[in-house]
Structure 1
Amino acid sequence: MDYDTARGSTCSSCTVTDDFSNYWIPSLFYRAQNGTFTPVSQIGGATIYYLQRRANDSEKLFAFPPGFRMLAGNPMLRNYTDVPEQQAISYSCLDYSGGGGPETGGFPQRNCANGYRLQVFFPSCWDGENLDSPDHKSHMAYPDGVTGGTCPPTHPIRFISIFYEVIYETNKFSDQWYDSTAPFVLSNGDPTGYGLHGDFVNGWNVDVLQSAIDDCNSESGVIEECPHFKYFDTVKVQNCYIPPRIDEPTEGLLQKLPGCNPVQEGPENATPQTDCGAPTEIGSPKSYGTDVSSRGWSYLDCVMDDLDNRTFPIRGTNSTMTNEMCIDYCVSKGAIYAGTQYGEECYCGTNAPPADRMGFAKCGMPCAGNSTQVCGDAAKLSVYTKNVSPIAGSGVQSVPAMSSSSATIATTNSSPPSSFITSSSSSTVTPTSTSLSFAVFGLTDTVTVSKALSTTTTINRSSTTTSVVGTASDSGATITSLPSAIPSEILTGWVSKGCWVDPVNPRALETWGYWGEKITTSGCINWCDSKGFIYAGTEYAGQCFCSNDFAAPEE
């Protein structure tokens, strides 16, 4: 990793758009009595502090120059010697009830009610010449107070200070201690904690950081108060992901630590290890796509979706979804992009995904029809594209049956599945008798329904709703039996209008909302109310619709 590579990043898990720096500390593992290892989860990721520590009010603080990097701490240490380098490394035993105790230089040797907080303070005094050094430390030095004070004459240039905090959820293993020694080990093979260290590789826009150092000195410490910074969208920050490039297990129950890092107990310093059978080469980024070359298609990327502005307009679902099935379906719709989402959903389109939704997210939800494949994730699409020059003999093997809620692309010569249901005027497909029932809520004293909905057999995942409805009359919509309990936590002014049949073509409530496994009635109502709608409807266990009219399709 160099400066230009860092600056060329497409996303960051840090919020400031001008900061593509790399911040790193070792992972933490629980070491079981039988010698196996389990990763310990972080809580909230890393917190990085930029601190304006000066020897006096007139001292100039500088931004890190392009190409700068440094290391704090020593991964080989297995004992404590009270030198400045070790004074800058510490652990806090978190107990929010007040029983955490003092900070320590190694692992706290007691159960900590709210986990371990690992803390690394970096040196801030630079020699003014070297962007790096063979040990990644000699070009830097600590001031005489470690976290503050005066720089030594050999390192006279003062950088802004950086400090890392990372909380590990060690309390999840509180009932798995087997003696009085903390059963944890850092990923560098350190069971003492004294070998904690941190890496920093500069990726800042240097001018922006320097302006912030000079001008942003609010006592609140709130980064958003600095006018020099712009910020990434929160969703993009939370989903920024780099695919692994080393073929080695790092998750789940492990027989050994990743890499060549056997546990070295100390108290003597650890020694570097080689020839342990671990991978020694960095390969290509891991792909989470399916090989669909036989169909003349290829995997593009994991793409973020926007529930208010879908990446692709055509949607279908199938409880046995695979990526091949979705591609075959999209071919039948004349699309050149196909995307699977949420395990069993398929989306199709003719326009490429927006660039700002690509290049950073990870999809990891198994396909409903093949658990070895990945079919997107919540609000993420596993996207495939049609090759410019299809492979000879490739093409649709058979068109899968799917239910769909939207289609804005005209059909091609390939026939769509017979059970496809569409609400688009651009498609000539006729809806079948398959439809969905949904619960409708509206504001008090709204207009009552006057149009009839289609005669259908409903498919509903709720056991509290009658699954078969009768023939609609001309005077009103078909209504099923109500759920046994109407939710009481809905917004004031909203009342239940019953459980109705959605004919799909056209929709009884015309505006798509959102869907997902965490949907609730109150959540759907809140969403529709925030958009100015007076009707809200939940459907199929995880879908939300909104409208200002509640009318059946024209006869």
Structure 2
Amino acid sequence: MKALTVAALALVAPVTALLRFPCAQLVIDRLDPLVTPGQAPSPHLHQILGGDSFNVTMDPEKDMPGESTCTSCQFSEDFSNYWTAILYFKARNGTYKRVRQIPNSGFEGVNGGMTVYYMQDGLYNFQQTSKVQGFQPGFRMFIGDVNARTKEEAERFRQLTFTCLDNINTRDPQTLDFPSEPCRAGIMTAVRFPTCWDGVNLDSPDHMAHMSYPEFGSFESGGPCPASHPVRMGQLFYEVIWDTAPFNNKDDWPEDGSQPFVWSFGDATGYANHGDYLFGWKDDALQRALDSPCYINCPTLETQDAAAMNACTVPRVVEEEIDDWVEDLPGGHSAEYIKKRWTD
């Protein structure tokens, strides 16, 4: 993958229908209405973004845009919900501290959250001219494996990666596991979802089977969709920047020199990187944007400023400590992981 920043990409060539926008943090909570609907607390802690209709169950029969009154995303017609696990730092003394998210380059003032992309072609394809289908009302999906602990398990999923940031615009190299050395400007996680739809099902029992990767390569390399999943969808892609710089003193890292970061469900390898998505765009707003010349500022969509994005929040359902140093991860996953690690 070419080492070219998104800012530079914008200057090189005109782009058609590459949506890149920030979403502020809606809430940090132990809820997961996709994988464990109705369960509160859910097994591990998440950062959630998007429409304020987010709740414990997220009934797919309900009209998400109609239920929401605001969104924490830049495009005010996007009431979708996007979420990922939370990153923690494990100190040498065994205690944990939540790592905060910071906004991406060009999105200063947005409260944490992440950057969301919808693309017709790969990020480094300057033309962006392919016709793609927008997601439909009721559509939802998941990508990744929370139980993955080896490189081989992680390689099932293409392009779920980490980048050790030398500066805010660093994009390469990308790895499947956590960086092993301190990163000057933080760690960026990237979550790229599959792009081929079966054309029938809005969801599936594992929230993945109705979607597929191309027959070979990736969306960015232009690989064709398989016959089982013939509908080419836009590339949904998350970038999350974690402010790991406050934890760069290696005297605070484990005595054996191993990297100190761990997902909120106990994975210290990084191989269990994953993401969740519930579609919630209003009317035909997403398809309209995918069919139009758009790059960041999209003339077919309504936008809002950082203050409006930051103001859209919901109260936490599960009350537990998420800001101070803690002895264990929410849900007890650190203890579970250590036990698994030494007994497997």
- On whether the aligned pair clears a TM of 0.5, the verdict is yes
Assess if the C-alpha contact under 8 Å between 1:80 and 1:86 holds in 2: no
Give distance in 2, aligned partners of 1:134 and 1:97: 38
Q: Which residue of 1 aligns with 2:253?
A: 177
Q: Which amino acid aligns with 1:242?
A: V
Aligned residue runs from structure 1 range 150-169, under 5 A: 150-169=224-243
Q: Secondary structure at the match of 1:204?
A: coil
Q: Which amino acid aligns with 1:49?
A: Y
Cα deviation, residue 267, structure 1: 9.2
Q: Secondary structure at the match of 2:88?
A: strand
Give deviations 1:23-44, integer Å, cap 9, x for gaps: 1111100112232210011111
Q: Secondary structure at the match of 1:231?
A: coil
Q: Which amino acid aligns with 2:253?
A: W
Q: 1:264 to 1:146 in 2, by over 3 A?
A: farther
Q: Which residue of 1 aligns with 2:178?
A: 107
Give distance in 2, aligned partners of 1:156 and 1:206: 24
Give deviations 1:493-545, integer Å, cap 9, x for gaps: xxxxxxxxxxxxxxxxxxxxxxxxxxxxxxxxxxxxxxxxxxxxxxxxxxxxx
1:264 is aligned to 2:320: no
Give distance in 1, aligned partners of 2:317 and 2:68: 16
Q: Which residue of 1 aligns with 2:142?
A: 71
Q: Which amino acid aligns with 2:337?
A: Q
Q: 1:194 to 1:206 in 2, by over 3 A?
A: farther
Assess if the C-alpha contact under 8 Å between 2:145 and 2:154 holds in 1: no
Cα deviation, residue 246, structure 1: 1.2
Give distance in 2, aligned partners of 1:47 and 1:107: 20
Q: 1:6 to 1:37 in 2, by over 3 A?
A: farther
Q: Which residue of 2 aligns with 1:53?
A: 121
Give distance in 1, aligned partners of 2:90 and 2:191: 23
Q: Which residue of 2 aligns with 1:32?
A: 91
Q: Which residue of 1 aligns with 2:17?
A: none
Q: Which residue of 2 aligns with 1:231?
A: 303
1:204 is aligned to 2:270: no
Pick which of 199-208 and 256-265 moved more: 256-265
Q: Tell me the TM-score normalized by structure 1.
A: 0.45
Q: Which amino acid aligns with 1:264?
A: Y
Q: Which amino acid aligns with 1:227?
A: P
Cα deviation, residue 51, structure 1: 1.0
Cα deviation, residue 232, structure 1: 2.5
Q: Which amino acid aligns with 1:81?
A: E
Q: 1:17 to 1:67 in 2, by over 3 A?
A: same
Give distance in 2, aligned partners of 1:98 and 1:65: 33
Q: Which residue of 2 aligns with 1:188?
A: 265
Q: Secondary structure at the match of 1:209?
A: helix
Q: Which amino acid aligns with 1:21?
A: S
Give distance in 2, aligned partners of 1:83 and 1:109: 17
The equivalent position to 1:130 in structure 2, one of 179, 201, 205, is 201
Cα deviation, residue 99, structure 1: 9.3
Structure 1 regions of 5+ residues with no counterpart? 272-555
Q: 1:265 to 1:155 in 2, by over 3 A?
A: farther
Q: Which amino acid aligns with 1:169?
A: D
Assess if the C-alpha contact under 8 Å between 2:164 and 2:179 holds in 1: yes
Q: Secondary structure at the match of 2:284?
A: helix
Q: Secondary structure at the match of 2:142?
A: strand
Calculate percent identity across the aligned residue pairs.
40
Q: Which amino acid aligns with 1:177?
A: W
Q: 1:62 to 1:101 in 2, by over 3 A?
A: closer
Q: Give the paired residue count.
A: 265
Q: 1:84 to 1:146 in 2, by over 3 A?
A: farther
Q: 1:266 to 1:212 in 2, by over 3 A?
A: farther
Give distance in 1, aligned partners of 2:244 and 2:178: 11
Structure 2 regions of 5+ residues with no counterpart? 1-57, 104-112
Cα deviation, residue 100, structure 1: 8.7
Higher CA-based Rg: 1
1:147 is aligned to 2:216: no
Assess if the C-alpha contact under 8 Å between 1:116 and 1:168 holds in 2: yes
Q: Which residue of 2 aligns with 1:42?
A: 101
Q: Which residue of 1 aligns with 2:109?
A: none
Give distance in 2, aligned partners of 1:88 and 1:159: 17
Q: Which amino acid aligns with 1:200?
A: Y
Q: 1:88 to 1:101 in 2, by over 3 A?
A: closer
Cα deviation, residue 101, structure 1: 6.5
Q: Secondary structure at the match of 1:120?
A: strand
Give distance in 2, aligned partners of 1:32 and 1:49: 34
Cα deviation, residue 233, structure 1: 4.2
Cα deviation, residue 183, structure 1: 0.5
Larger RCO (CA under 8 A, 6+ residues apart): 2
**What is the CA RMSD across the aligned residues, in angstroms?**
2.8
Aligned residue runs from structure 1 range 533-544, under 5 A: none
Pick which of 234-243 and 11-20 moved more: 234-243
Q: Which amino acid aligns with 2:240?
A: V
Cα deviation, residue 147, structure 1: 3.0
The equivalent position to 1:11 in structure 2, one of 70, 91, 107, is 70
Q: Which amino acid aligns with 1:186?
A: W
Assess if the C-alpha contact under 8 Å between 2:154 and 2:271 holds in 1: no
Assess if the C-alpha contact under 8 Å between 2:85 and 2:263 holds in 1: yes
